[in-house]
Amino acid sequence: MSVDTTSVFAGVTPEPGAAKPDPILVADSVRRQFGGLVAVDVIHAEIQRNQITALIGPNGAGKTTFFNLLTGFDEPDGGTWTFDGHSVGGTSAYKVARLGMVRTFQLTKSLARLSVLENMRLGAGSQRGERLFAGPFRWLWRGQEQDITERADELLARFRLDQMRDEFAGNLSGGQRKLLEMARALMTDPTLIMLDEPMAGVNPALKQSLLDHIKQLKDEGRTVLFVEHDMDMVHEISDWVLVMAEGRLIAEGTAAQISGNQQVIDAYLGAHHDVDLGAMDDQEAMEKLGLDADDLGVEALAHIGETARGVGEPEGSA
Amino acid sequence: MNWSLIVWNALYTGINAAAAGYCLVASGLNVHVGYTGLLNFGQAGFAAVGAYAFAIPVATYGWEWYWALPLVFVASILFALLLGLPTLRLRADYLAIVTIAAAEIVRFFLNSVRFTWLTGGSDGRNQFTGFFQDLNPLENNARYKLGAQSIDGYRLFMLFVGWGLVALIALLVWALMRSPWGRVLKSIREDEDAARALGKNVLMFKMQSLILGGLIGSLGGLILSSQQQSAQSGQFATTLTFFCFTIIVLGGLGRVKGPIVGTIIFFFLIQLIDNTLEQATRRDKIPEWLVDQNNYGQIKFVVAGLALAALVVFRPQGIFGDRREQVFDVR
Ligand SMILES: Nc1ncnc2c1ncn2[C@@H]1O[C@H](COP(=O)(O)OP(=O)(O)OP(=O)(O)O)[C@@H](O)[C@H]1O
Ligand SMILES: [Mg+2]
């Protein structure tokens, strides 16, 4: 963590819904229910501009659903939110993206029968040739296309996809598709980029350089919000961390502050109270969380199911 | 067996004016299904709208062609809006259901007794092709030799008009699909949420695609009826749509030349099978219990269906498709 970062969050109390000095995204009472299951119920959340914020939580916590709501891919049962001063609740997904709030998907969406390069070019906004009546006339969009291609090639090189440039995206490996999706999102020149598990399936050697890219995004003046289960990564690059469990925001703080938070540990290890976490230091506990998150999440999910059927009490409500 | 006649017949069926009409209808469908992934099962409806929007005003109300032709465009755009507005935001299957229903509604309407005053009912509409006849530099009623075929000047002219139009449309589709506009359509075909996430107004692009493909289909319907000098509701049954699906799958979905190659091969094969069976049954070359003179007409579709099934299994990318596209799992 750099020094200036600490200063930005210096006056911020590490508690759920904490106010930030310069929030780019502010959400209020965002709620989404699937049948009897409350997937998201966020009372207040703020994301600080030009910082890297992590959103963590066990499987089924509602992180992806929260992303879907914020970006217009799902409709909330209630709630409002603003992005960069615009009220964007109820705005269609494409308009949200045009405002500069661009997301990637947990289940990668590569456009299989387009080449990697075409995937990238698609990301560029304001291409004149995307208008029906300009399309047939190449001279109207050719110059622009060249600039776009140049930008795409730079990004592809940065994400080590340049040798795959002319392949169909469907021929990429799972990890390469993740990279492509992230690079493609960057083609839109987003102000806020929201990454849903960008590291899942990316090999360790590349992970490190990806981390550097994400840090570089911050240097470019962008804001990053990412969902991640890999606690090492969260520790390494996030300036601030939001923790969700069972749809609610249960904790906030820097990575260091979060790792000692008893509620967070409860949320992750709800079914493992017998494990003596007190005997471990923070680092060790977090490592355990990172390693076991997937495994534990399944049980947490089953537990939510029980709660919905009225069998038990929600664990996180304590 | 007279093989030379059979082959000449099949060749002519593959390239005659009716084939050009089918090819246009299929080209429009290719914009929907092949490029945008819109499952339109009512392309016959667009063709019917195109034919009747020209035939009715000219035959019933004596309009000039230059007023009727714009009406073809207007009616087809309206039809696209009518289909698209309620369904394009829904899942793909809804469009399929609505389009097939709409096309059948159009056909029943055209065929209904109540509206005979307007549509001609089961007689259809005739005497609306004066425009093409006047335009024809050939003698409309003279006979012309085309290989072993002898056809009249009108049909021959319509053959050129039809394929000329096919060429123009192919050029337009080619120019559009290499453009960034076409790229957005293809991205919608692959995953419309991905397109949305990149700021593309998916609904608008789908609408544009539906309108463009519908317009091309309407022109196809116009050619189809005009070459017969008669607009008949029977020309626009669901078989038209399904023939066109077969054609674009044969030629390769989402390829400019797909509909052209597909049309020629499809009609060539159908006619070849038909004539062969006809001659064979007439000369008792095939046992009666298998195929007789009364049912060979149906058998050609059975054979064509089997051929199509084999094609989809062994060459899913179409006859001239790119093998690479099929290497990976698309879904
Ligand atoms: N479309 C849906 N219909 C019904 N339930 C859903 C739907 N989408 C999500 N859910 C439920 O909402 C809850 C939150 O799901 P969500 O995908 O947001 O979790 P997540 O935090 O992203 O988990 P993970 O870390 O596993 O990706 C889960 O219990 C899930 O079963
Ligand atoms: Mg998720």
pLDDT digits over B101-140, tens only? 999 999 999 999 999 998 888 888 998 988 888 898 988 8
* A235 vs B331 pLDDT, higher one: A235
Choose among A97, A129, A185: nearest Cβ to B179: A129
CA distances for A237 relative to A17, A211, A234, B104, angstroms: 21, 7, 6, 60
Q: Which domain holds residue B302?
A: 3-325
Quote the pTM value: 0.88
User: How many domains are there within chain B?
Assistant: 1
pLDDT of residue B219: 97
Query: Measured between CB atoms, does B114 come within 8 Å of chain A?
Result: no
Question: What are the structural domains of chain A?
Answer: 8-110+189-311 (3.40.50.300), 112-171 (no CATH)
With H, G, I as helix, E, B as strand and everything else as coil, classify residue A145.
helix
The greatest distance separating any two alpha carbons of chain A, rounded to the nearest whole angstrom, comes to 70
Query: Measured between CB atoms, does A75 come within 8 Å of chain B?
Result: no
In a domain, B243, yes or no: yes
Query: Measured between CB atoms, does B200 come within 8 Å of chain A?
Result: yes
Q: What is the pLDDT of residues A34-84, one digit of tens each?
A: 998 999 999 999 999 999 999 999 999 999 999 999 999 999 999 999 999
Instruction: Please check whether residue A270 is in contact with residue A300, taking contact to mean a CB–CB distance below 8 angstroms.
Output: yes
Choose the residue to mutate in A38, A64, A77 for probing ligand 1, maximizing ligand atoms within 8 Å of C-beta.
Answer: A64
Least confident of A35-39, A255-259, B73-77, B285-289: B285-289
* A309 vs A65 pLDDT, higher one: A65
**Bridge-partner residues for A82, per DSSP?**
A26, A87
pLDDT of residue B280: 86
Closest to B32 (Cα-Cα) out of B307, B235, B245, B290:
B245
With H, G, I as helix, E, B as strand and everything else as coil, classify residue B329.
coil
CA distances for A274 relative to A277, A279, B212, angstroms: 9, 12, 65
pLDDT of residue A299: 45
CATH number, residue B141: 1.10.3470
Count Cβ atoms below 10 Å from residue A90 Cβ, excluding itself: 11
In a domain, B129, yes or no: yes
Q: What is the pLDDT of residues B268-318, one digit of tens each?
A: 988 998 888 888 888 878 887 877 877 888 887 887 788 778 877 887 777
The greatest distance separating any two alpha carbons of chain B, rounded to the nearest whole angstrom, comes to 66
Closest to A107 (Cα-Cα) out of A227, A275, A276, A270:
A227
A176-193: burial string, b at 16+ Cβ within 10 Å, e else: bbbbbbbbbbbbbbbbbb
Shortest-distance Cα residue to atom 14 of ligand 1? A62
Instruction: Please check whether residue A188 is in contact with residue A125, taking contact to mean a CB–CB distance below 8 angstroms.
Output: yes
* A183 vs A277 pLDDT, higher one: A183
pLDDT of residue B50: 97
Q: Considering only CB atoms, which chain A residues are within 8 Å of B252?
A: none
In a domain, B290, yes or no: yes
Distance CA B126, CA B53 (A): 13
Sheet holding A248-253, edge to edge: A101-103, A192-196, A223-227, A52-56, A240-245, A248-253
Closest to A53 (Cα-Cα) out of A271, A228, A176:
A228
In a domain, B118, yes or no: yes
pLDDT at B330 over 80: no
pLDDT of residue A12: 84
Place of tokens 């700021």: B199
In a domain, B208, yes or no: yes
Distance CA B113, CA B119 (A): 9
Q: What is the ipTM of this complex?
A: 0.88
What is the mean predicted confidence (pLDDT) over B156-169?
97
Q: Which residues contact B320 (CB under 8 A, 6 or more apart)?
A: B251, B252, B255, B257, B258, B261
Least confident of A126-130, B36-40, B309-313: B309-313
Shortest-distance Cα residue to atom 9 of ligand 1? A65
In a domain, B331, yes or no: no
Find the helix or strand (DSSP H, E) in which B143 lies.
Answer: strand B143-146
Shortest-distance Cα residue to atom 2 of ligand 1? A34
Taking only Cα atoms into account, the Rg of chain B, rounded to an integer number of angstroms, comes to 20
Q: Which residues contact A271 (CB under 8 A, 6 or more apart)?
A: A296, A299, A300, A303
pLDDT level of residue A305 (50, 70, 90 thresholds): very low
* Mean pLDDT, chain A, integer: 84
Taking only Cα atoms into account, the Rg of chain A, rounded to an integer number of angstroms, comes to 20
In a domain, B330, yes or no: no
Distance CA B110, CA B165 (A): 26
* B181 vs A90 pLDDT, higher one: B181
* Mean pLDDT, chain B, integer: 90
Judge residue A275's burial from the number of C-beta atoms within 10 Å of its C-beta, 0-12 exposed, 13-18 middle, 19 or more buried. Answer: middle
Judge residue B289's burial from the number of C-beta atoms within 10 Å of its C-beta, 0-12 exposed, 13-18 middle, 19 or more buried. Answer: exposed
pLDDT of residue A259: 82
**Closest CA of chain A from B143, distance in Å:** 40
